[in-house]
Amino acid sequence: MQELFEYSDDREERNAARANALESLLIEKGIIGEQSIDKILEYFDTKMGPFNGARIVARAWTDETFKEWLVEDTPGAIASMDFPTGMAGAEGEHMRAVANGPYDHNMIICTLCSCYPFPVLGLPPYWYKDPAFRARAAREPRAVLEEFGLNLGPDVRVHLWDSSAQIRWFVIPERPYGTSGWSEEELVRLVTPESMMGVALAESP
Ligand code: FE
């Protein structure tokens, strides 16, 4: 099985070249338009991405009642905020948020493929789909987290959440120290995609 996880160093370039070739072919055959792919990518750049998740987390940091609602009924709590249409659809119907605490750290993976909460996090990074990451995160999460630069104390429990077509998880990281009195708008800047995947903490101020 080991060789299945071994890739050449230029795999991203090769996959990008293959994707470009497929796009050209689909345009040439008249199956998609010249701008189709760019429009989809622009949507993920401007409407559906980690900037949405950051706003939701910042709201949870400043409003404990909202945070409880977000954990209990994630789509309901998100629907109370002012987001573009589409936030509830496109893989967003069954999102669930889990909150980190002083002794609990959450991490999301998809062991089967690459299920991801598109509306709050956008498109998954390349490594999230990597079979080696998916297997190792399930088998030795602490070792993987250390490679991401996250060293958790022995008294912190690690919880893994396996996303699927039924439920797509994201993490509410802990609010960083030194941010009391910060507004939601200021806090948004500290919420990284990695912190909502659980491979990092929120940024320090
Ligand atoms: Fe998946």
> Is domain 49-197 annotated with CATH 3.40.50.300?
no
- Just list the catalytic residues: 110, 113-115
Q: Residue 87: what pLDDT?
A: 64
Segments of the chain assigned to CATH 3.90.330.10: 49-197
Q: What's the 129 CA to ligand 1 centre distance in angstroms?
A: 9
Q: What's the 115 CA to ligand 1 centre distance in angstroms?
A: 3
Q: Residue 43: what pLDDT?
A: 86
Q: What's the 191 CA to ligand 1 centre distance in angstroms?
A: 24
Exposed / middle / buried, residue 87 (Cβ in 10 Å: 0-12, 13-18, 19+)? buried
Let me know: does 160 contact 89? Beta carbons within 8 Å. no
- Please list the ranges in the chain whose pLDDT falls under 70: 1-6, 84-93
Q: What is the pTM of this model?
A: 0.89
pLDDT in tens, 169-198: 999 999 999 999 999 999 999 999 999 999
pLDDT in tens, 54-68: 999 999 999 999 999
